[in-house]
Structure 1
Amino acid sequence: MSTALLEVKQLTVGYGAAPVLHEVDLTIGEGQIVAVLGANGAGKTTLLRAISNMLPITAGTAKFDGIDLKPVKVERMVRHGIAHVPEGRGVVTELTVEENLRLGGLWRKGKPDLDEVYDLFPAIANRRNHLGHQLSGGERQMLAIGRALVAKPRLLLLDEPSLGLAPKITAQIMGLLRDLRDRTGLAVLLVEQNVRSALSVADEGVVLNLGRVVTRQKADTLADDADLRHAYLGF
């Protein structure tokens, strides 16, 4: 792993007066996939939302390539190289596939190159003129990820990409993440309830419990740790 691309130190975040994350430390390097795992309510989504400044940081810091993210506005995160795909496959259902993808590149000069996304996701390439509401759940997830990739991020924050999807589509998306990491050096911070899928593509796994980091281990080591899996991951 290279020097840290994302460095989170002693991060404390909450909703109102109630803290959800407690002094979380996390690093991710160029070209690394880190899976954030834990039960519902562990603070996984809150972590991503804090990094992208959708939630205010109460204490601690989050730095990207040495830049303090706290003063960076949410809408400018993509200019710094961070793309966030939230849970729920958020696409603009009234727009076509191609119009959704072009939204991802609005901040760049000139027309965004969509061919790479279409090559990655042939299913949506064949439906580029269809409206968002006409897509299946898997196609919407592909579109949401594709729109993020149009921005050419260095770090992708990906929240529950397999939620509600068939195993075949989940495997396709996980394989894509590994391929992008290998080909482009994209770093991915992956929140995922499907622990086996996440660990199959991640380099490392971080386990959260009640807003605190319980452990960080290599993905294959974590997958083999039966006691920890039973205690915190439910399998």
Structure 2
Amino acid sequence: MLDVRDLKVAYGQSEVLHGLDFKVAPGEIVAVVGRNGMGKSTLMKSLVGILPTASGTVSLGDMEVQKLASHQRVKQGIAYVPQGRQIFGTMTVKENIETGLIVSGRKQVPEELYEIFPILKEFAKRRGGNLSGGQQQQLAIARALATNPKVLLLDEPTEGIQPSIIKDMAKVLRQIRDMTNLCIVVCEQVLSFVLDVADRILVIENGRIVHENIRAEVDEETISRFLAV
């Protein structure tokens, strides 16, 4: 269980997240949606420890992690796929995934990762920088999963991805959820992807959660208005 309570984050004296509260259960995919500049990426970076928490708590199960450094949070089970993927372009696919194994202590790339992402097995010796955008996103997710996490955070995973691939990505994330029972949090602007992947949707606006609904009860027009520029 990921449990976020009264989370406040500031850049200097300027508070940008104003007391966020939400929970994500094991086996649940929660999408956080909102326009640019509303606080989505700030939330992701604060959860993984790249940005410090001004106040509030972030808990994994019974353990509070908001005071831990980023690498310590990863060891406790938070995996992060950043916006833009940030894979190692000069390293091979296999070497990229192996960087995640350092945290988990495993010696070999788990075969189940290649079952989820068969293209990565085929291209195991190819440099990461030579992959397409969609393949790089698969690699970034595989690298995160190699840490053996409890929580998977994805920031704008559809950015730079062809529309035809986006539907496949939603299917893969649901497959990962079903196989691993992870808590998954996706920050995203592409509504079609969100509706395809999420069990629950949170809308963030000006650093506050202003709307929440389970997928089955979502009114698309309402969400679209929040995303309209």
TM-score (norm 2): 0.95
- 1:55-204 to structure 2, matched below 5 A, reads 55-204=51-200
Higher mean displacement: 80-89 or 120-129: 120-129
Q: What is the letter of the counterpart of residue 41 of structure 1?
A: G
Identify the residue that residue 10 of structure 2 maps to in structure 1.
Answer: 14
* RMSD (CA atoms): 1.4
* Paired amino acid for 2:94: E
Q: Which runs of 5+ in 1 are unaligned?
A: none
Q: Percent identity?
A: 37
**Residue segments in structure 2 that go unaligned for 5+ positions in a row:** none
Q: Figure out how many residues of one structure are paired with residues of the other and give that number.
A: 229
Is the 1:200–1:219 contact (alpha carbons within 8 Å) kept by the matching residues of 2? no
Cα distance in 2 for residues equivalent to 1:81 and 1:62: 13
Q: Distance in 2 between matches of 1:139 and 1:111?
A: 23
Aligned-pair CA distance for 1:142: 0.6
Separation of aligned partners in 2, 1:151 and 1:128: 18
Structure-2 change in CA distance of 1:230 and 1:119 (3 Å): closer
Aligned equivalent of 2:210, options 190, 193, 214: 214
Name the CA distance, whole Å, in 2 between partners of 1:230 and 1:97: 37
Report the Cα distance in structure 2 between the residues aligned to 1:110 and 1:150, rounded to whole angstroms.
Answer: 9
AA of the residue aligned to 2:81? V
**Segments of 4+ in structure 1 off by > 6 A?**
none
TM-score by length of 1: 0.93
1:66 Cα offset (Å): 1.8
Match of 2:226 in 1: 232
Bigger drift between 35-44 and 177-186 goes to 177-186
The question of whether the paired residues in 2 share the 8 Å contact of 1:112 and 1:150 is answered with no
